[in-house]
Structure 1
Amino acid sequence: MMPCYRCGARQTDPVRGASPWQRGVRNESQVLICPDCQRLHDLDLDSCAGCGSTALICRLGEVECRACGTVRMAMARTDTSPADPVTPPPGLSAEVEAALNRVLGRA
């Protein structure tokens, strides 16, 4: 599962009902926001050019506004600045390996 883009918290299996995690788009990429980070006022999310809402989803190269329905093509990122690195959270590879071992029945 994808971690929170702000704090790196990992999503756990939800209790019955809707997930308290929120989706958003940042720098043309789909991100998840944990319940704690949702309380922050400046989430630095992309917004809709039509209505200004940050209720966006990104899928198959398109960004859709859930507030007004505007759909646009996602622009390819050319910014690879060190201020916004894309690195997995610490321990992620060990978690993935353990999950694969459980699923595949490896000892």
Structure 2
Amino acid sequence: MPCHICGARQNDPTRGADPWKRGVRHDRQVQICPDCQLVHDWKADLDRCGRCRSTFLLCRLGEIECHSCGHVRPQTPPAAPAPAEPDTALTNEVEQALSRALSGLSRLPTPRAHG
């Protein structure tokens, strides 16, 4: 998972403490690289616990848990993408082609019944 601020990718970790920080932003787990931790106010972008206002949150299995106070809440599902607007120019072309085809059919001779 890349750094949510600069997009840097994490290398294989070395022994010891992981210098990357984790957090939750818009109900999704994110990581913050060591460089962005030094340059940016990275905690300002993170979600906060509704009970204690801590940013020490963990996202897992459809819920968000605060490691400071233990409060657990459901994760909000991602918003569904808005339906695409139809291309009105294409729709008009299709309607015109269909109209021409139907008017051409009405000019065809009707079959005679054999009797």
The unaligned stretches of length 5 or more in structure 1 are 81-107
Q: Structure 2-normalised TM-score?
A: 0.64
Separation in structure 2 between the aligned mates of residue 66 and residue 37 of structure 1, nearest angstrom? 23
The unaligned stretches of length 5 or more in structure 2 are 82-115
Shift of 1:59: 0.5
Please state whether the residue corresponding to 1:23 is helix, strand or coil. strand
Q: Structure 1-normalised TM-score?
A: 0.68
Aligned to 2:7: 8
Separation in structure 1 between the aligned mates of residue 77 and residue 57 of structure 2, nearest angstrom? 17
Q: Which amino acid aligns with 2:66?
A: C
Higher relative contact order (CA 8 A, sep 6+): 1
Q: Count residues in correspondence.
A: 80
Please provide the CA RMSD for this pair.
1.8
Q: Which amino acid aligns with 1:28?
A: D
The 3 A distance-change label for structure 1 pair 50 and 79 is farther
In the alignment, structure 1 residue 19 sits paired with structure 2 residue 26: no
Aligned to 1:61: 62
Runs (4+) of structure 1 moved beyond 4 Å?
A: none
Shift of 1:75: 1.1
**Per-residue CA shift, 1:2-44, capped at 9, x if unaligned?**
1101100110111111101011001110011111112322541
Separation in structure 1 between the aligned mates of residue 56 and residue 80 of structure 2, nearest angstrom? 23
The 3 A distance-change label for structure 1 pair 37 and 50 is same
1:27 and 1:77 in contact (8 A); partners too: no
1:22 and 1:33 in contact (8 A); partners too: yes
Of Structure 1 and Structure 2, the greater helix share is in 2
Separation in structure 2 between the aligned mates of residue 59 and residue 23 of structure 1, nearest angstrom? 13
